[in-house]
Amino acid sequence: MVFGERWAGAGSAIASLMFFWAMARQFFPHQFDTYIMKYAHKLMHVFYPYIEITFPEYSGERFMRSEAYSAIESYLSSSCTERAKRLKAEMDRDKTNLVMSMDEHEEVTDEFQGAKVWWYSRKTTPKRQTFSIYPGPEDHRYFW
């Protein structure tokens, strides 16, 4: 019974902390929030041993597709498609071959040069809508 009471006390403390955090974010300046988040990320990295690398589909000039993204997409389509649950099929540039690759929001685990790697395919859609004669921002795809 004492063990259950400890968990109840911990849950109550976490709920109180979350409530005060929400209130602090609402009433304190944005700089305070940035300061707290900076040190929270540093604390999290002490306990989180993994490295995260993001490879965006377009980098540098917006009209140039990233070579790294293309290389990863090619690598994953050849080595990880049998482990992925959701795939997408597209025609290659010559429109002669069907190319299978990971669908958005799919993840697979791979071993690369002795290291275990988790690959995630993500897509974000900008939330802002603007009225302009120019085309709006498109979806941003990346491997993470």
Per-residue pLDDT of the chain (144 residues; tens, 9 = 90+): 455 677 777 788 888 888 887 877 787 777 777 888 888 888 888 888 888 888 888 877 666 788 888 888 878 877 776 777 777 777 777 778 777 777 787 888 888 788 888 888 887 776 666 655 555 556 677 677
Give residue 131's pLDDT.
Answer: 58
What phi and psi values does residue 88 have, to the nearest 5 degrees?
-125, 145
- Which is nearest to 86 in space by CA: 108, 68, 65, 64? 108
Instruction: Evaluate whether 88 touches 102 at the Cβ level (below 8 Å).
Output: yes
Q: What is the pLDDT of residue 2?
A: 57
Provide the pLDDT for residue 115.
84
Q: Where are the alpha helices (DSSP H) in 28-116?
A: 30-47, 67-79
- Residue 61: the pLDDT is 66
What is the structure's pLDDT at 130?
60
